[in-house]
Amino acid sequence: MTAITHVDAAVTPETIARILSEQGALIIDGLMSGEQLERLTGEIMPYVEATEAGRDDFTGRRTTRTGALVARSAACRELVMHPAITGACEQFLLPFCDRFQLHLTQLIRIRDGQTAQPLHRDRLAWGGYLQRIIEPQLNTIWAVTDFTFENGATQVAPGSNLWDDDTRLPTEDELIRAEMKAGSVLVYSGSVIHGGGANVSGADRMGLNITYALGWLRQEENQYLSCPPDIAKDFDPELRALLGYAMGSYALGYYTPPLPPGEGPEVVPPDFLFGEKAAGWGEDLYEQVTERSRAGTPGG
């Protein structure tokens, strides 16, 4: 494959998922409005400016990575919940899980002088234990600045998601730069080979990496710590569920409020923390427990 497919903002989730399965990546042009981009930049730049560069060649010694963006930026929260992307996650990830979740948020700023990142598949975050038949991840990089050949546009090997041989590396011809205008978004699977490009432009390249994963896998950015309950309580319940404050399936993710003996339920879903009622619970018990639980009353 010699190009990354571009589609416009009216693309359907089904089409996104189909191209992802067949090619491993695509670019949706102009999905973020100019107004949203401006708000996003205003909200995140103070954090980006204060972020130190990476510690090794993979994270990039001339690259900064700024996280906790759900907690820090309303515009980022909107992008996390963008219906074209969550709709594509439903199509692409739900065949492998009961619920998908947010995996990470990270503003990646590739600075002038950064060399190309080692090529990789993001699914290797789980150490190669997953069977190839499982697609664990749907990833996005929203262009906050234009992405150009010179400033480090992501390099992608379209079609490499389907390569049988895990050791095969793309040739120069098979590597395509995800060149796009600010406001566009590169969508790519956890199985496609890619990496940040070298920046020789004299200016920063900024991309907002928002990724999603199967609800039964460990998240790369620990959302319970980057966006703890005290912050998450003010968010839309659907966003909270995406962070992980919801059952991942029948048995995954319950908790026990740590209250004195007999004063609380033993098994409740995470949403209980935010006032959602657990099925089969009496009104009084529910009120008492949430009050004590919120006040942090220790058990035992």
Ligand X SMILES: O=C(O)CCC(=O)C(=O)O
Contacts of 265 (CB under 8 A, 6+ apart): 256, 257, 272, 278, 281, 285, 289
How far is residue 179's CA from residue 205's CA, in Å, rounded to a whole number?
A: 11
The correct pick among 54, 195, 229, 269 for binding ligand X (CB under 6 A) is 195
The correct pick among 27, 102, 107, 141 for binding ligand X (CB under 6 A) is 141
Q: Which is nearer to ligand X, 26 or 273 (CB)?
A: 26
Tell me which stretch binds ligand X (CB under 6 A): 194-202, 223-231, 252-260, 278-286.
194-202
We find the least distance from the C-beta atom of residue 197 to ligand X, in angstroms, to be 7
Q: Is 158 in the site for ligand X (CB under 6 A)?
A: no
The correct pick among 91, 148, 151, 154 for binding ligand X (CB under 6 A) is 154
Residues 113-132 that bind ligand X (CB under 6 A): 117, 122
The residue type of 96 is F
Q: Which is nearer to ligand X, 84 or 108 (CB)?
A: 108
Q: Is 217 in the site for ligand X (CB under 6 A)?
A: no
Tell me which stretch binds ligand X (CB under 6 A): 27-35, 167-175, 188-196, 273-281.
188-196
Contacts of 219 (CB under 8 A, 6+ apart): 101, 102, 103, 104, 213, 244
Q: Is 54 in the site for ligand X (CB under 6 A)?
A: no
Helix (H, G, I), strand (E, B) or coil at 88: helix
Residue of 154, 257, 262 whose CA lies nearest to 205: 154
How far is residue 255's CA from residue 230's CA, in Å, rounded to a whole number?
A: 17
Q: How far is CA 175 from CA 160, 171, 179, in A?
A: 10, 7, 12
Continuous H helices in 151-236: 223-226, 229-232
Q: Is 24 in the site for ligand X (CB under 6 A)?
A: no
The CB density around residue 150, as the number of other CB atoms within 10 Å, is 16
- Token output for 109: 């700023």
Query: On the CB side of 167, how many CA atoms lie within 13 Å of its CA?
Result: 0
Q: Which is nearer to ligand X, 122 or 204 (CB)?
A: 122
We find the least distance from the C-beta atom of residue 214 to ligand X, in angstroms, to be 18
The correct pick among 20, 31, 108, 273 for binding ligand X (CB under 6 A) is 108
How far is residue 40's CA from residue 74's CA, in Å, rounded to a whole number?
A: 8
We find the least distance from the C-beta atom of residue 248 to ligand X, in angstroms, to be 24
The CB density around residue 156, as the number of other CB atoms within 10 Å, is 28
Q: Is 99 in the site for ligand X (CB under 6 A)?
A: no
We find the least distance from the C-beta atom of residue 142 to ligand X, in angstroms, to be 11
We find the least distance from the C-beta atom of residue 61 to ligand X, in angstroms, to be 13
We find the least distance from the C-beta atom of residue 99 to ligand X, in angstroms, to be 24
Q: Which is nearer to ligand X, 103 or 194 (CB)?
A: 194
Q: Is 196 in the site for ligand X (CB under 6 A)?
A: yes
Task: List residues binding ligand X (CB under 6 A).
Answer: 108, 117, 122, 141, 154, 194-196, 207
